[in-house]
């Protein structure tokens, strides 16, 4: 039985989603054997020294279930270091083959520093990939392309279809790599998942306009899973100030209406991600099937008791990960060939 899994990895303040097309007897098998795998982002700017090794080890262990460990595709949604700076560790997996890497934003933006003191060095993720002989290119290459989801998929992973809805969208703020985020749509057995990187109001507005302008609402309505844009940031996903500042985010949420949402962040995140005001916007669409593990916002303040989804004795599809509570933990969304789904927390 073919089963697709999305592992929403805990990398502290960062992002990584590991996707597998697997063989299994049923949706609830303890062990699934991947036939194909890909990765969307792998980085962390806070607590990566703890979460990063766990993340890469988990990926390595899963890939080792294959006859030969292969990632068909790695997508870097944009150039913020917390989405790509664990690549060097990924490349250290023995005998790993990466068939293709795709990135959003400018190559020069993928520079970051590693180490301290005399061991401090500057690296560029794209150059690391190319030095390893991995085909690596920017998508969409002309900075404005948007794929029409009525056309054949951009890529496939087994029978999982993949489209880029928005990528490298031109914006007036040339210093904000988040605006350039690649927004990916996945579809399998009638179920859809969106991974939007650190999409901002600029990116989400482009998404909204494209979907409504092309009459593609049915292609995105009723998502099975959504990684919340930009770690649940409020400041970058609203548009200006005043009564209409939430219009873009609300339109995106209403267009997609995801039944489960996933947010990666660090317990003491200085950026104050995620914001309660952002999660509140999803309340009307999140299904009552599973539960969240944590009762704290990212800077340590208790959530109000009226926010029932965050209590461990209720069942709602808001999944977060906090490094101090579960080091290297992640949530795995499973979809089988009939469209049945389930979510697991795995170490």
pLDDT tens track for 184-234: 999 999 999 999 999 999 999 999 999 998 888 998 999 999 998 987 777
DSSP string of 216-227? -HHHHSS-SEEE
DSSP state at residue 304 = P
Q: How confident is the model at residue 270 (pLDDT cuts 50, 70, 90)?
A: low
Greatest mean pLDDT among 95-109, 141-155, 322-336 lies in 95-109
pLDDT of residue 45: 67
> Is the domain covering 2-346 a CATH 3.40.250.10 domain?
no
DSSP string of 253-267? HHHH--S-EEEE--T
Q: Are 17 and 8 in contact (CB under 8 A)?
A: yes
Give the residue from 144, 189, 151 showing the smallest Cα distance to 166.
Answer: 144
| First-last CA distance in the chain | 24
**Whether pLDDT at 320 is above 80:** no
Q: From CA 40, how far away is CA 73, in angstroms rounded? A: 8
DSSP state at residue 233 = -
**Whether pLDDT at 325 is above 50:** no
Q: Residue 133: phi, psi to the nearest 5?
A: 80, 20
For residue 194, count CB atoms less than 10 angstroms from its CB and return exposed for 0-12, middle for 13-18, buried for 19 or more. Answer: buried
Q: Which of 71-75, 251-255, 311-315 has the lowest mean pLDDT?
A: 311-315
The H or E element spanning position 277 is helix 276-281
pLDDT of residue 162: 94
**Whether pLDDT at 91 is above 50:** yes
Average pLDDT over residues 239-265: 85
Question: Residue for token digits 């795998």?
Answer: 37
Residues 24-53 have pLDDT tens digits of 888 988 889 999 999 999 998 666 555 655
Task: Report the residue count for the chain.
Answer: 347
Q: What percent of the chain has pLDDT over 90?
A: 47
pLDDT of residue 244: 82
pLDDT of residue 182: 95
Give the residue from 343, 277, 335 showing the smallest Cα distance to 316.
Answer: 343
What burial letters (b/e) apply to 120-138, b meaning 16+ CB within 10 Å? eeebbbbebbeeeebebeb
Residues 6+ apart with CB under 8 A from 142: none
CB atoms within 10 A of CB 149: 22
**Whether pLDDT at 267 is above 70:** no
Q: Residue 39: phi, psi to the nearest 5?
A: -140, 135
Q: From CA 276, how far away is CA 284, in angstroms rounded? A: 14
Q: Are 111 and 137 in contact (CB under 8 A)?
A: no
Domain boundaries, the chain: 2-346
> For residue 49, is it left (φ>0), alpha (ψ between -120 and 50) or beta?
alpha
Average pLDDT over residues 122-127: 93
Provide the whole-model pTM.
Answer: 0.88
């Amino acid at each position: 039985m073919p089963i697709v899994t999305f592992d929403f990895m805990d990398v502290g303040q960062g992002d990584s989603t590991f996707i597998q097309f697997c063989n299994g007897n049923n949706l609830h098998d303890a062990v699934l054997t991947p036939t194909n795998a890909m990765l969307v982002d792998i980085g962390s700017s806070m607590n990566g020294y703890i979460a990063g090794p766990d993340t890469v080890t988990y990926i390595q262990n899963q890939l080792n279930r294959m006859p030969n460990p292969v990632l068909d595709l790695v997508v870097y949604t944009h150039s913020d270091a917390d989405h790509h700076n664990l690549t060097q560790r990924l490349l250290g997996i023995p005998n790993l083959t990466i068939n293709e890497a795709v990135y959003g934003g400018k190559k020069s933006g993928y520079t970051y520093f590693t180490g301290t003191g005399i061991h401090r060095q500057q690296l560029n993720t794209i150059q690391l990939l190319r030095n390893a002989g991995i085909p690596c290119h920017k998508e969409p290459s002309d900075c404005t392309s948007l794929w029409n989801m009525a056309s054949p998929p951009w890529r496939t992973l087994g029978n999982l279809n993949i489209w880029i809805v928005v990528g490298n969208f031109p914006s007036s703020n040339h210093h904000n790599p988040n605006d350039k985020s690649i927004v990916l749509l996945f579809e399998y057995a009638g179920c859809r998942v969106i991974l939007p990187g650190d999409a901002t109001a600029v990116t989400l507005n482009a998404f909204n306009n494209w979907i409504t302008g092309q009459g593609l609402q049915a292609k995105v309505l009723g998502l099975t899973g959504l990684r919340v844009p930009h770690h649940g940031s409020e400041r970058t996903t609203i548009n200006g100030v005043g009564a209409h500042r939430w219009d873009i985010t609300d339109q995106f949420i209403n267009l997609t209406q995801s039944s489960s949402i996933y947010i990666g962040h660090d317990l003491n995140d200085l950026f104050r991600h995620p914001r309660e005001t952002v999660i509140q916007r999803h309340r009307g669409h999140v299904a009552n099937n599973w539960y969240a593990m944590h009762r704290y916002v990212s800077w340590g303040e208790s959530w109000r008791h009226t926010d029932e989804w965050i209590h461990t004795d209720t069942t709602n599809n808001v999944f977060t990960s906090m490094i101090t509570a579960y080091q290297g933990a992640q949530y795995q969304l499973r979809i089988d060939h009939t469209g049945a789904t389930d979510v697991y927390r795995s170490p």
